[in-house]
Structure 1
């Protein structure tokens, strides 16, 4: 073993140390700070079945890939200098077949002249009975499961995904079949009512070993509702908030654990013989059940298995509660969005309208973008596209205020710029603290004239099926609404029959690192599809401009239907 030059020793001392290391029955190794072998004694060479040259300069995991080398523990010793002991196991090249060896190791940091130079490891092989080896291996599997749960469960806020992560984690390490079932959501489309003598659960996820997957599917797949008889394992688990273990050695016990009596024969055919139902609870209230099953040659569940299953359920419960709350709020938000942003009805049978709304964050379905179409006297109609600053429920509430005020002002039959002026003053007086852009177009269906005014909004696009083609409206943009500055103007645009008016919010074109004028200019390339269908037009627009959007997108395309009688020509 090398000795640092700052620590000279006599020949006798060095020879004594070498003799001690070479003669001991314990395996001794010295590693550098990168955990590469610097020295191995003869006992470790015999134990590992590899020559010294096969060790030197390499890490344990490289030399002996089938052992639990615990390099993480060795790094901890290097970091803090605290010696550690650990029992490990694995398969060594010197052993024949698949025999597993067990050894006890002690590790301490090696320092020379105050400088950390490596780690010394001393290992001694220990014998274990078959039962002890089995328990040790089982404990290792359990610890591995619990360790993996920290990174594999709860990667999203989707409840079913979280349930699937749990079932996939425990199969096959803890069970041959795993299910997670939850109570039906309180905000969701209604399902058929459950009979009074059953407990209805929704199967959120199911996993099984390959040989059982086809047979298990007959009992219900993810998304199905499962009805349990009152004395089945799942309802008993929910009532007591304690795990229920069923080692199903007889048909009577099997029928009591099954959801319904007719399942017994099918369970027997698949060889299912043991089950655990573990409550998944938050603050003492159950929200679901983790079900584990073993079949055929797998051993029955032990008390240790129950402890691990319960710990996994506890860890999953936190993530499932977050996901459940998110799903609840997400559903309410979706209903709010639908109520606030209902698709406008055509103001006249001769007017076609197509709309889309895409939130930038799919987890936040409410926002400040809106569109509307309001019928006016004399065959005219008002079209509006607006964008309130911000996202989420607060922006949606502000958007609702803007939309309501606009509808109120539209009844006064004012030109577009006067509507925006009035709306700006009303918003300022109301104390609404969110500014908004808005584009208003009043279309005279019989006169071929479109009057447009903008409050800080991007210009409209006109798509003519005839020789005029596509062009951007030259509309001066006044200040956003809510600023109190006013100063809006109305621009008259002459349009031919069948011209499409395309309106949008900035999420469609605004991209990081690109000038907004460049982005908007690309809209001049829009063309109607061969079918002329407005829905297909919006599909094509979103396919081209939607990817990469960082803000909500609202788009609306409208036009008068053609052909009309000569005295009933129209614009969009």
Structure 2
């Protein structure tokens, strides 16, 4: 009787389970802890009574098996709970025996209750872990520096700060508009954001893209000098004055209630590339050491992404400058040759490719038109493109037919050790524009758009292997053209589409017609409007034609009728 009174009156939960771990008895305390009437426990397992509790039945079975008592911590939710937080219980479990026979297991449980401070710390730790986990998917989604900076500030506000900025050294984003004064650190604000209640006031500090100057004693300057986080308590006017980049900011900081700040370096390979600034205001708590640890971890991850973006921007700029220099408008080989060109990158985020075009005058009055595509993207492709173009210009001086030019170019590339193959289409056009010799090294056929109602036709050109393979075997095809025929050349990005046969794609080019204006620039605009959307590779296009005054065509025609030399060629006066 005394034992029953003790068990029934204790605040500890007591339960007895049989060898199948079904409840045989629960005391009133365990009934209250579980929020389930005692009668509803009997004959049921813990999992059946409390499906949302991790009861560790495996350890209870071990107690039944070897008779060694165990202390078990379990957690979960019970019907007695309100809210969504998990609860924790610590229990001691012992095997019960009667006359040497194992009859079950008895458990004594106490609920573990953390203090308010511990609960706050636990909640803060969970938020920090969630923040770090989110950083893996929310920062560095592109190779653009400003976008990465914006992703960082959007992540930390409001999770870690009320107001956040990312500032980087100017050369990493754009050249400074003016030199910084001696003793001043100049940064470019790449991103800034704040809580809605602070945005109007924060707007006085400037916007993304502005340059900010910091004196030697400023927290940002000290952070960059030591490559260590700096925590600033802004409650005192003296500290507030040091933190502000200019005296007029002090009143603004105070009006917004800004009371603490953390400046964290954005460093990679031991060198800073900028800073992450975090500010709290109003009723927000001051920054703790744990906050600084999390901020530094986030800054470290973002710095890696920013370094990748910086390297990409550097390489992209070099490659783009190379390609721009190579894809500059070809100089007119003759005043009677009209040329229009376009280059359209598939995507701004994609490295420039090896597409190129050129028109080279030849000493006998003819001119060589070329378009090609070096395999790959980036600086290497742009350099290879320059190599191909230089060799081609050298060979053009020898006034060879197109297939011989390709043969020599193929051999020279193979001997030079250049490891990037390229397709190329050459067309040698006489001064009259009446005859076109075409040869292809793995390139798509040209398109001829005849004036008037004559129509549009694809050049029936035999394509040899790409350049750089050393196989050779190129052929020249002669195509007759009337004066005014437009020769349209292009790279494969114009027509190649995933899931579509290339012959079908190229066949649609037969539908090209000259616009009503007859202008080649308008023609290329229409071509890119029609075929450019959905392109997965860079596009280079070139349109050209010979143009003559009517009296010149008549005189050439008269010579043809008389069978005189120079028929079909313009006469010089």
| Same structural fold, with TM-score higher than 0.5 when normalized by the shorter chain | yes
Question: For residues 191 and 57 of structure 1, what CA distance do their matches in structure 2 show?
Answer: 72
Name the residue aligned to 2:532. Answer: 546
The corresponding residue for 2:506 is 520
Alignment CA distance shift 1:264-1:334 (3 Å): same
Summarize the Cα distance change of 1:440–1:86 in structure 2 as closer, same or farther, 3 Å threshold.
Answer: farther
Contact 1:247 1:301 in 2 (8 A): no
Cα offset, 1:234, TM superposition: 0.6
How far, CA to CA, are the matches of 1:551 and 1:163 in structure 2?
Answer: 28
SS at match of 2:262: strand
> 2 CA distance for matches of 1:549 and 1:107?
66
Structure 2 counterpart of 1:5: none
1:197: which partner in 2? 183
Tell me the residue number matched to 1:475: 461
2:167 maps to which of 168, 177, 181: 181
- Counterpart position of 1:241: 227
Shift of 1:237: 1.1
Q: What residue number does 2:88 align with? A: 104
Question: How many Å separate the matches in 2 of 1:498 and 1:446?
Answer: 10
Q: Structure 1 residues 304 and 417 mapped into 2: Cα distance closer, same or farther (>3 Å)?
A: closer
Contact 2:450–2:485 (CA<8 Å) still a contact in 1? yes
Could you tell me which of 18, 26, 40 is aligned with 2:23? 18
Q: SS at the partner of 1:321?
A: helix
Match of 1:264 in 2: 250
SS in 2 for 1:156: coil
Are residues 180 and 562 of structure 1, via their aligned partners in 2, closer, same or farther at CA, if it must alter by over 3 Å? farther
1:185 match: secondary structure: helix
Give secondary structure in 2 for the equivalent of 1:457: coil
Q: CA deviation at 1:460?
A: 0.6
User: Residues 394, 305 of structure 1: CA spacing in aligned structure 2 closer, same or farther, 3 A cutoff?
Assistant: closer
Alignment check: 8 A CA contact 1:374 1:410 kept: yes
Q: Secondary structure at the match of 2:440?
A: strand
- TM-score, length-scaled by structure 2: 0.77
State which of 209, 224, 227 in structure 1 corresponds to 2:195: 209
Identify the match of residue 149 of structure 1 among 106, 124, 135.
135
Q: Deviations over 1:363-410 (max 9, x none)?
A: 553433221111234653211012234444444333322211111121
Q: 1:274 aligned to 2:260?
A: yes
Indicate if the aligned counterparts of 1:398 and 1:432 stay in contact, CA closer than 8 A.
yes
**Take 1:324 and 1:293, find their aligned partners in 2: how far apart are those partners?**
26
SS in 2 for 1:373: strand
> How far 1:239 sits from its partner (Å)?
1.2
Stretches of structure 2 that go unaligned for 5 or more consecutive residues are 1-15, 60-70, 93-106, 557-567
Counterpart CA distance in 2 for 1:331 and 1:503 is 27
Cα deviation, 1:439-486, whole Å, max 9, x if unaligned, reads 111223435333322233221112234111221122233343344454
Report the secondary structure of 2:131's partner residue: helix
Partner residue, 2:206: 220
- Please state how far the C-alpha of 1:163 moved relative to its aligned partner: 1.8
Indicate the SS of the match to 2:171.
coil
Secondary structure, counterpart of 2:265 in structure 1 = strand
Unpaired runs of 5+ residues, structure 1, are 1-10, 27-40, 61-68, 78-82, 109-120
1:523–1:161 distance in 2 versus 1, CA, 3 Å:
same
Could you say which residue in structure 1 is the equivalent of 2:390? Answer: 404
- Give the deviation of 1:289 after TM superposition: 0.7
Partner of 1:135: 121
Of residues 211, 225, 231, the one that matches 2:217 is: 231
Instruction: Name the CA distance, whole Å, in 1 between partners of 2:157 and 2:28.
Output: 44
The 2-side partners of 1:490 and 1:15 are apart by: 90
Counterpart-to-counterpart distance in 2, 1:491 and 1:12: 95
> Equivalent of 1:339, from 313, 320, 325?
325
Which deviations, in whole Å up to 9, do the C-alpha atoms of 1:499-551 show, x marking residues without a partner? 32110122322334433222211110112334444344334333433344444
Cα distance, 1:25–1:339 mapped onto 2, change above 3 Å: farther
CA distance in 2, matches of 1:124, 1:201: 57
* Cα displacement string for residues 326-358 of structure 1 (whole angstroms, at most 9, x for unaligned residues): 222222222233234433223344433332334
Number of matched pairs: 511
Deviation for aligned residue 1:101: 6.2
Query: Residue 33 of structure 2: which of 43, 48, 52 is its match?
Result: 43
Shift of 1:256: 0.9
Does residue 277 of structure 2 align to residue 320 of structure 1? no
Matched residues in 2 for 1:461 and 1:93: separation?
Answer: 80
Alignment of 1:554-569 (within 5 A): 554-560=540-546, 565-567=551-553
Using the size of structure 1 for normalisation, the TM-score is 0.77
Whether the 8 Å CA contact 1:454–1:488 is kept in 2: the answer is yes
Task: Tell me the CA shift for residue 258 of structure 1.
Answer: 0.9
1:201 CA displacement: 0.9
Please say which structure displays the higher CA radius of gyration. 2
Name the CA distance, whole Å, in 1 between partners of 2:18 and 2:410: 94
**Is the Cα contact below 8 Å between 1:187 and 1:331 reproduced in 2?**
no
- Structure-1 residue corresponding to 2:440: 454
Mapped contact 1:102–1:125 kept (Cα < 8 A): no
Aligned residue for 2:504, secondary structure, equals: helix
Partners of 1:444 and 1:148 in 2: how far apart? Answer: 64
CA RMSD of aligned residues (A): 4.0
Q: 1:313 to 1:421 in 2, by over 3 A?
A: closer
| Structure 1 residues 175-221: Cα deviation after superposition (integer angstroms, max 9, x where no partner) | 11111111122685553211223211121221211222233223122
Partner residue of 1:167?
Answer: 153
Q: What CA deviation, in whole Å up to 9, does each residue of 1:273-304 have, x standing for no partner?
A: 22111112223221211100112222222233
Q: Deviations over 1:80-100 (max 9, x none)?
A: xxx985888x999965xxx89
Give the 3 Å change call, closer, same or farther, for CA 310–407 of structure 1 in structure 2.
Answer: same
